[in-house]
Amino acid sequence: MKVAISGGTGFIGQKLTQRLQRSGHEVVVISRKPAAENSQVATLTWGEIDDNPRLLDGCDGIINLAGASLSQRWTAESKAKMERSRLQATSELIEAIHGMERPPSVFIQASAIGIYGTSETQTFDESSPPGGQDFPSQLSIKWEAAADEIQAMPNTRLVKMRIGLVLGKEAGVYPVLKLPYKLMGGGRLGDGRQWMSWIHIDDLTALFEFCLTHANIEGPVNAAAPNAVMQDHLGRVIASTLHRPHWFPVPAPLLRAVLGEMSLMVIGGQHVIPAAAQQAGFQFAHPRVEEAVRNLEQA
């Protein structure tokens, strides 16, 4: 397949590009800036696409990952930027698709499991309704809604990839979780009972490719491993793997004082099941967090 990836220069985008290329797919990255001279990937700028949407003709799939990072203090200004960047990129891509002579057969819209809201008792799958009035939930609802216009195009299926906490060696949430243990200060965050629905970066990129190449998959897809764990358990796994103590609890009020509203990312959580992926036959290479963490440390 020929696949265009917006947001392809970010952590997930780079790993996804590498995977698709290894599988023999052709990748075009959509970026705000032109590619470096030594780039091994074809690049189109948003300005070029705005001027000539037919530059995307021939793309069998488009993956939209573009959006400002949530890993920053959530001020009114930064939250507006996060929302604006996501909705603008989605709108521009849909407009470009309307201008293509042959629209892609699949459009994959990135989203997040935060769309379900937070809960210590509920379990969510793709049939669960969006919930929660918190910022991540409302942002994900708007992001997915912006992509719904694709449903009016009969030959393009829409996949909404609801991504969990991504465990990667160089980036994602794992280096952040690992750092306190390296400094001998790791421990429970809040009461430690909040659910961590995680996914290894290799499984995430594999799931993207699976959704590209399996025409029977449509609608929401939870990109999370089948075995979610509570934060205290995840911390203990990291501590054991690094041979460090798990002993220094950080109270929730302190996290709120330091991180502000963004503390919801570490003291809130949701138990998510990847029902759609499993029913479609997707096999997770790293279904359990103990093995996933070991794999990252051995990489």
Q: Judging by DSSP bridges, how do beta strands 42-45 and 198-200 pair with one another?
A: unpaired
Residue 274 confidence (pLDDT): 98
Q: What is the per-residue burial (b if ≥16 Cβ within 10 Å, else e) of 225-247?
A: bbebbbbbbbbbbbbebeebebe
The CA distances from residue 243 to 168, 170, 200, 232, 234, in Å, are: 19, 20, 21, 16, 14
- DSSP character at residue 278: H
Q: Can you tell me the mean pLDDT for 70-78?
A: 89
List the CATH number of the domain containing 294. 3.40.50.720
Better pLDDT: 36 or 50:
50
* Residue 64, beta-bridge partner list: 6, 109
pTM of the model: 0.95
Enclosing domain of residue 177: 2-298
Distance CA 124, CA 41 (A): 37
- Percent residues over pLDDT 90 in the chain: 80
User: How many structural domains are present in the chain?
Assistant: 1
Better pLDDT: 74 or 200:
200
Residue 38 pLDDT exceeds 80: no
